[in-house]
Every structure is written in structure tokens, then in C-alpha cells.
Amino acid sequence: MKTLSVIIPVYNEEAYIARALYSVKFADEIIVVDSFSTDKTVEIAKQYNCKIVERQFDNFSNQKNHALQFATCDWVLFLDADERITYPLQLEIIDAINNGKHTAYKLNFPHFYMNRFLFHHSNNVTRLVVREKCHFEGSVHEKLIVDGSVGKLKHHVLHYTYKGLEHYIDKKDTYAWFQAQQMLDKGKKATYFHLAFKPFYRFFHSYIIRGGFRDGIPGMAIAGVNAYGVFSRYAKLMLLKRGLK
């Protein structure tokens, strides 16, 4: 039987961490990498007999690559504090790591917003991987680089990502600064075309092409905030270029 480590990066997640940990208690090892939380996150994690790794946050890739050094199992599952593994997905994960068909697997994340799961606003993200065959790259929206084939699991991860409209907008703004800095480092420029057309296309893609309109008002709200996130990214790039952060 293959063994499984779960890595959960956290910062002030006392309201969410217990349910995430409970959902992966089937794992052989749970590693919580904490960015020096000031609430009860670590205290709660210790109740689940986790390995606690403290590291000052600089970017998402470095945080997860650092935690990987402490994993000892054959496979690793990367989970966030606001995500839950359902029992059907648990069984599917156990089967996947033991049958050896692929080196890694993508999981599907329908987002939860306005008290409903938005199945037309979801992401397929590689999160389950052979420990020795992966590393992360990128400072924001980090990418898991896999040395081998990638499959896809059928059952959903429950993702309670949006705690409200204000939280969602704040999250977009935080990511926008990381993304803007990343673009600046690559020598990219922001134009009025980026500020006008790119946000419009993001709304159109999210609401029409991906079928967000089928999720009703929540789908429209998510598409709108996603468009704002694109605008914010390029606006912040302009500020960074002018030294106005």
C-alpha cells in the first residue's frame, strides 16, 4: 500500500482548519506549514497530531516547496484550509495512489459562493502527486511542475473559497500585487488596452463561455469580481512602473 502526506499552508485559519484536517484524517501524515498565525490555527492543528512547520511567508511556491522537505510518504496531496475532501473522493484518492496509472492527478474545485456551489465556475488543478516527482514554480497562482503523466479524478473537492464579497475583492487585490510584481520583473508593460479590453474579456469568458450565467446571480457576481481582478492587476503594474506603490 502506498502512503500519503497532506500539506496544508495556513495563516490565521482558525475558522476553517479543523474541518480541513478532519477531512484528511485518512492520510498517513499531515503537515501544516504556518506563516506565524496570530490566532488559534496552530493550537487546533496540534489536536490532529500534525507536523507543524513555521515559515515566514514570501510567496506560495517557496512555502509549499519548503513544506515538501518534511514530507516522508510516497504521495503528497496539497490542500488549503478552506477545502474539504469528501468520502467518495477519499476512496478515489486511495485507489489512484495504489494503481500507479499516473504520476499526478488533477482535482476539480467548484467554488462556494452565496450559499451554493458554482459548478460552472470551477478549476481543475493538479494537487495529488508522487512526492519525488514535483516542485512548484511561480510566486502567485503557483504551478505544480510534474515529472510524469497527469490524470484527473472524478469527485469534487468542496472549496469554501469566498467568505463574502468584501473578502473576495480583498483576495483579488492581494493577488494582483503579486501578479503585477511578477509582470514587472519580466519587463511587461500595462496599456489602456489592458485596462479596458482584458477585464471585459475576463467577464465574457467567465460568464458566457464557461457558462457562469447558469449559476444565476452568484455566477454574475463572480464574473464581475474576476474582471475587477484583471483590471486591478494591470492598474497596479502601472503604479509599480512609476514607483507609486
In this structure, the answer to whether residues 120 and 180 fall within a common structural domain is: no
**Which has the closest alpha carbon to 233: 225, 142, 221?**
225
pLDDT at 147: 95
Closest CA to 125 of 95, 139, 99, 146: 146
CATH of the domain at 40: 3.90.550.10
Band (pLDDT 50/70/90 cuts) for residue 95 is very high
Phi and psi of 42, rounded to 5°?
-65, -40
Do 45 and 152 reside in the same domain of the chain? Answer: yes
Q: What value does the mean pLDDT take over residues 89-95?
A: 97
Query: For 188-200, what is each residue's pLDDT tens digit?
Result: 988 888 998 999 9
- Residue 215 has a pLDDT of 83
CB of 184 closer than 8 Å to CB of 240: yes
pLDDT tens profile 21-36 = 999 999 999 999 999 9
**Cα dihedral 211→213→216→217 (10° resolution):** 120
Q: Look over the chain and give the mean of its residue pLDDT values, rounded to a whole number.
A: 91
How many C-alpha atoms does 224 have within 13 Å on its Cβ side? 8
Across 90-94, 112-116, 164-168, which has the greatest mean pLDDT? 90-94
Residues 44 and 140 in one domain: yes
Query: 129-184: per-residue pLDDT in tens?
Result: 999 999 999 876 789 999 999 999 999 999 887 666 777 788 788 888 888 988 99
Convert 168-179 to b/e letters by CB count within 10 Å (16 or more is b). Answer: beeebeebbbbb
For residue 115 the three cell numbers come to 450559499
CA-CA distance, 134 to 147, in Å (whole number)?
6
Query: Could you list the residue range(s) of the whole structural domain that residue 203 is in?
Result: 165-241
Distance CA 170, CA 26 (A): 34
Same domain, 21 and 126: yes
The pLDDT value recorded for residue 164 is: 67
What does pTM read for this prediction?
Answer: 0.76
Same domain, 21 and 128: yes
The H-assigned helical ranges of 81-164 are: 87-99
pLDDT of residue 11: 95
Q: How far apart are CA 163 and CA 165, in angstroms?
A: 7
| Total tally of structural domains belonging to the chain | 2
